[in-house]
Amino acid sequence: MLNPGYTTVSKFLIQNVPEGPHGRELAALLVDVAAVIKAISAAVGKGPLAGLSGLAGSENAQGEAQKKLDVVADELFVRGIEWSGLVGALASEEMNDVHFVDGSGRLALVFDPLDGSSNIDVNVAVGSIFSVLALPDRTTNPAAVLQPGTRQLAAGYAIYGPSTQLMVSVGTGTHGFTLDREIGNFVLTHPDIRIPEATSEYSINASNRRFWEPPVTRYVDECKAGREGPRGRDFNTRWVASLVADVHRVLMRGGIYLYPRDQKEANRQGRLRLMYEANPMAMLIEQAEGVASTGRGRILAVEPQTLHQRVPVIMGSREEVERVERYHAEYDRGEDKPYSSPLFGERSLFAKG
């Protein structure tokens, strides 16, 4: 039954996209993005029955092996968006460079068509992430899309989990919609999401510990020390290893997500991509009253130099992210006092013996 109170994503966008030079175009573009996401959701939801499992046999611009579904999702975005005349430029994780669209479109859509695609073959939640920017003028200069995240007009992601959900911000809070598969509409189910300021859940790939910087090691060791440590309470680890799934949990119930800079590959600034992973997620987190940091500043303030640039990501509940920022600042000033648990000390002595 169609509930008369039911707010579809189209209705929501028409009512909530701020007026301005791009208002109407932005609402129309986001409706098209929602349609693309329904198509990707259908393909992902068929699993191996769609015949889209496994590798495509090709590589993306960064030399990473593409899954068949990476390529299909990228094509669905391009075909679902470029026809409308709203967009002058498209760029994605799967493209070598910015793809310019003939016409008068003044918006740019930057996206990760399928995030967490290594999880596809084990049937774990994956997603799509997108960011909308305004093009300064009719241009075919790829540098035109290299804008800091503060300039995003809108951002969002879809999560293809037990249900398909779409989280969107147009700068007026972060709002969540759930796909009603029978009716084919995204329905507003999570208006005005607020991330709790405090949390006892942290998410980090602990196998990289030996590559972390000292402030990150200090933070995680203190969490692990639990009630006996300086934090005086127990923490839980949560790690899906799918950016969308991990950030979604943080958005829904709080937590801190870290993919910090590490020394695993020297000269690499973190692992996640600024333009189509970190920036859209940072906008959604900030619009939900969370904090999104590199450890040394706001993610949204980073000036991009290249389309596929990487960035350290620390985001989620305010108290924890601000604490990690403080540890970075103390470390950079030479004031860092790494916590060493007497218990861990004993264990490592024991192990060496």
- Contact residues for Mn ion, defined by CB under 5 A: 93, 112, 114-115
Please identify, using beta-carbon distances, which residue of 188 and 302 lies nearer to Mn ion.
302
Please identify, using beta-carbon distances, which residue of 80 and 105 lies nearer to Mn ion.
80
| Closest residue to Mn ion using C-beta atoms | 115
Letter for the amino acid at 260?
P
Please identify, using beta-carbon distances, which residue of 219 and 259 lies nearer to Mn ion.
259
Q: Closest separation between CB of residue 11 and Mn ion, Å?
A: 30
Please identify, using beta-carbon distances, which residue of 114 and 166 lies nearer to Mn ion.
114
Q: Closest separation between CB of residue 110 and Mn ion, Å?
A: 12
Please identify, using beta-carbon distances, which residue of 115 and 286 lies nearer to Mn ion.
115
Q: Closest separation between CB of residue 226 and Mn ion, Å?
A: 32
Q: Closest separation between CB of residue 250 and Mn ion, Å?
A: 16
Q: Closest separation between CB of residue 243 and Mn ion, Å?
A: 6
Please identify, using beta-carbon distances, which residue of 89 and 278 lies nearer to Mn ion.
278
What HEC string does the chain produce?
CCCCCCCEHHHHHHHHCCCCCCHHHHHHHHHHHHHHHHHHHHHHHCHHHHCCCCEEEEECCCCCEEEHHHHHHHHHHHHHHHHHCCEEEEEECCCCCCEECCCCCCEEEEEEEEECHHHHHHCCCEEEEEEEEECCCCCCCHHHHCCCHHHCCEEEEEEECCCEEEEEECCCCCEEEEEECCCCEEEEEECCCCCCCCCCEEECCHHHHHHECHHHHHHHHHHHHHHHCCCCCCCEECCCCCHHHHHHHHHHHCCEEEECCECCCCCCCCCEEHHHHHHHHHHHHHHCCCEEECCCCEHHHCCCCCCCCEECEEEECHHHHHHHHHHHHHHHCCCCCCCCCHHHHHHHHHHHC
Q: Closest separation between CB of residue 146 and Mn ion, Å?
A: 19
Please identify, using beta-carbon distances, which residue of 111 and 186 lies nearer to Mn ion.
111
Q: Closest separation between CB of residue 256 and Mn ion, Å?
A: 19
Q: Length of the chain, please?
A: 353
Buried/exposed code over 47-71 (b: 16+ C-beta within 10 A; e: otherwise): eeeeebeeebeeebeeeeebbbbbb
Q: Closest separation between CB of residue 59 and Mn ion, Å?
A: 13
Task: Return the closest-CA partner of residue 167 out of 190, 196, 133.
Answer: 190
Please identify, using beta-carbon distances, which residue of 87 and 114 lies nearer to Mn ion.
114
